Amino acid sequence: MQKKNPQKEIQSSQGIMSTILQNIPKESNVTKIDYEGPKIALYTNSPKYLLENNEIISNLVNIIKKRIVIRTDESIRKIEEEAKQIIINQIPKDANLQGMFFDNAIGEVSVEVKRPWLLQNTKFNVSEITERVGWRLRIRKAATKTSTTVQTINYNLKISSSDRSKQLKQIGEKIFRPRLSRKSEVSLLTLGGFGQVGRSCMLLMTQDSKILIDCGVNPGTRNPTESFPRLDWANITLDDLDAIVISHAHLDHTGFLPVLCKYGYKGPIYCTEPTLPMMNLIQLDAIKVSAAQGKSPIYSERDVKQIMKQTITLPYSTVTDIAPDIKLVLSNAGHILGSSTCHFHIGNGDHNFVYTGDIKYGKSMLFESASWNYPRVETLLIESTYGAKEDIQPTRQEVESAFINAINTTLVDGGKILIPIPAVGRAQEIMMVIDQYMKSGEMIESPVFMEGMISEASAIHESYPEYLARELKQKILETDNNPFDSEYFTNIEHPDAREEPLRDNMHCIIIATSGMLEGGPVLEYFKNIAPVKKNKILFVSYQVNGTLGRRVLDGTKQVSLIGKNGKIEAANINCSIEKLDGFSGHSDYNQLISFVHKLRPKLRRVLVNHGERRKSENLSMSIRRMFRIPTHYPQIQEAIKLF
Ligand SMILES: [Zn+2]
């Protein structure tokens, strides 16, 4: 008689369902078991029982090794208006309810309040309210200013809810299909972002599955064979892909993704929850930028909306099946909001591949340092933006005191400080630094004006405090001392409002986009601020060769700008110019080496990407010499056998 292998049986759909039914108490009142993408959804008539006895679900997860989620049976869901009223009555006035969003596809209601800590008491019983309204409650912190990006996503999720339910079920069936082969063979095809910074993209392949990792563009080039990932070379159709995994929102990792949706990619896109609004914001902005430069955009707003419908967001540190033989865990990468390292567990632990994405191994005010605690890694693929030996940045302490000094000296003289800044990430980091040091008294208190996409990007940061550094998260979720809501900050909503920061006797800090003086509202301020000697232009981000920012930094005394009516205007630069390194979201050379050193599992091989060729080569050599393990810095269009 053939002996049954229990692990093998649970791999099949029927096995999963019957194991759940055998192991769940009657009181759970489970009415239906269904796939919800990579998760198994248990629908119940009495959610309170399962919510209050969570050991039942954790035991089940241990047996079937799959993610399980509790859902309410549709029959018990009250109509939205009625559910809304019941919830409103339960929420204390002081918590300051801002809105509710009902997601029909999964029966969940997000309740947004200004002061979520007031709901952390026994009077506000989440499982009891869930039982009453028939919708699962999710309490969220409402941002100071509502993020329109998050609102648009919610709206698109709502109008596509019935399609999404069907899609999630199909995705689940595809993930949990029987494996074709028991043997694991793993290879990696390099499609972009190797020996360069830009168009990051690669294909991870086994006999059973194909996963595309990142899908960026190279914004600096015009020629399609140099701007876009070499998917043509990979010789696959979009239907062959099981999933796309996105490490973080930057354009060099996501800029080509809308094009795949435009040409018919229908499968799941996995990333963290804040990565979705962040990449939407960045992708839509890229359309505007191309239009302003007179180029025709490679995708439209419709394609960006399509991404919202196909994305499945994953929390950090959760094991998720994304293909019959591949599990994925995303962990904090410390680089920008929602950025993640991607751990692929292939076969039954046959091979473990970690892709760092862009990584900051060092704490900032916004984020914790990148996670390093992987249970197993055989192949590591690490970025090398600052992979050359001379790429050493000052410590946080050094850069923060230099920043305080740079601001104070100008404010004392009665001048204004203009900080040209990229809207996403760096702007929020600088805001946090300013707020902290003005409050502590080390920086002279002054108004801070902001213009550009900064306030929208900040609203997204504030909407996902779970992804921010511990202290900042605690301030936002548990106190009224929320730095994003600081009284120092004023957002300039309209060009007419620029008069105030530009007034003669106004000593202030102005933070505006773009970061390299290549267009955006920063130029309007620049024209006024640059000619006056007591003012200062303070750069806190990298200035690429050929940009106006770089020329100013290199000491140009006069520049030509396009004025209001398309006329060329000359601006003299008499103010002081300063640049500070050390606020970077990337690890410097020392941090990259420390990260590799910190990894406990024995690495078999290290691959290096995301850097100019010389930097990748140097990091690769250094790691080989120091750790005595084989390393390689592939170029684009290489096929590498990992296992
Ligand atoms: Zn990045």
Whole-number Å distance, alpha carbon 568 to ligand 1 midpoint, is 34
Whole-number Å distance, alpha carbon 253 to ligand 1 midpoint, is 7
Same domain for 536 and 634: no
Whole-number Å distance, alpha carbon 209 to ligand 1 midpoint, is 27
Whole-number Å distance, alpha carbon 125 to ligand 1 midpoint, is 40
pLDDT at position 11, please? 60
Amino acid at 319: V
- As given in the structure block, the two tokens for residue 180 are 């074709």
pLDDT at position 4, please? 42
Whole-number Å distance, alpha carbon 336 to ligand 1 midpoint, is 7
Whole-number Å distance, alpha carbon 272 to ligand 1 midpoint, is 14
pLDDT at position 10, please? 57
Q: Which positions of the chain have pLDDT values less than 70?
A: 1-11
- Tell which of 58, 75, 92 closes a domain: 75
Dihedral sign, Cα of residue 597, residue 600, residue 602, residue 603: negative
Same domain for 67 and 95: no
> Which residues are CB-contacts of 25 (< 8 A; sequence separation ≥ 6)?
56
- Pairwise CA distance, residues 8 & 1, whole Å: 17
Same domain for 497 and 571: yes
How many C-beta atoms surround the C-beta of residue 7 within 10 A?
10
pLDDT at position 567, please? 84
> Which residues are CB-contacts of 250 (< 8 A; sequence separation ≥ 6)?
216, 282, 336, 358, 424
Whole-number Å distance, alpha carbon 374 to ligand 1 midpoint, is 22
Question: 284-320 burial string, b = 16+ CB within 10 Å, else e?
Answer: bbbbebeeeeeeebbbeeebbbbbbbbbbebebeeeb
Alpha helices in 102-223 (DSSP H): 126-133, 148-159, 161-175
Whole-number Å distance, alpha carbon 94 to ligand 1 midpoint, is 39
Whole-number Å distance, alpha carbon 99 to ligand 1 midpoint, is 32
Same domain for 301 and 323: yes
Same domain for 316 and 243: yes
- Pairwise CA distance, residues 541 & 421, whole Å: 7
pLDDT at position 72, please? 97
Whole-number Å distance, alpha carbon 388 to ligand 1 midpoint, is 18
Question: Are the C-beta atoms of 511 and 448 separated by less than 8 Å?
Answer: yes
> Which residues are CB-contacts of 120 (< 8 A; sequence separation ≥ 6)?
none
Find the CATH number of the domain harbouring 541. 3.40.50.10890
Whole-number Å distance, alpha carbon 93 to ligand 1 midpoint, is 41
Same domain for 408 and 521: yes
Structural domain that includes position 443: 396-579
Q: What is the residue-wise DSSP string for 255-321?
A: TTHHHHHHTT--S-EEE-TTHHHHHHHHHHHHHHHHHHTTPPPSS-HHHHHHHHHHEEE--TT--EE
| Domains in the chain, number | 4
Strand ranges across the sheet with 631-632: 320-323, 326-332, 340-346, 351-355, 379-383, 605-609, 631-632
Q: Give, in order, the Cα–Cα distances in Å from 547 to each of 346, 514, 517, 553.
A: 44, 11, 7, 10
Same domain for 413 and 510: yes
Whole-number Å distance, alpha carbon 598 to ligand 1 midpoint, is 22
pLDDT at position 15, please? 83
Biggest CA pair distance of the chain: 92
User: Around ion ligand 1, which residues have CB less than 5 A away?
Assistant: 250, 358
Find the CATH number of the domain harbouring 633. 3.60.15.10
Same domain for 466 and 431: yes
Whole-number Å distance, alpha carbon 194 to ligand 1 midpoint, is 14
- Tell which of 579, 612, 633 closes a domain: 579
Q: What is the pTM of this model?
A: 0.94
Same domain for 312 and 202: yes
Same domain for 50 and 21: yes
Question: Are the C-beta atoms of 427 and 450 separated by less than 8 Å?
Answer: yes
- Pairwise CA distance, residues 409 & 385, whole Å: 33
- Tell which of 579, 606, 623 closes a domain: 579
Whole-number Å distance, alpha carbon 357 to ligand 1 midpoint, is 8
pLDDT at position 286, please? 92
pLDDT at position 425, please? 85
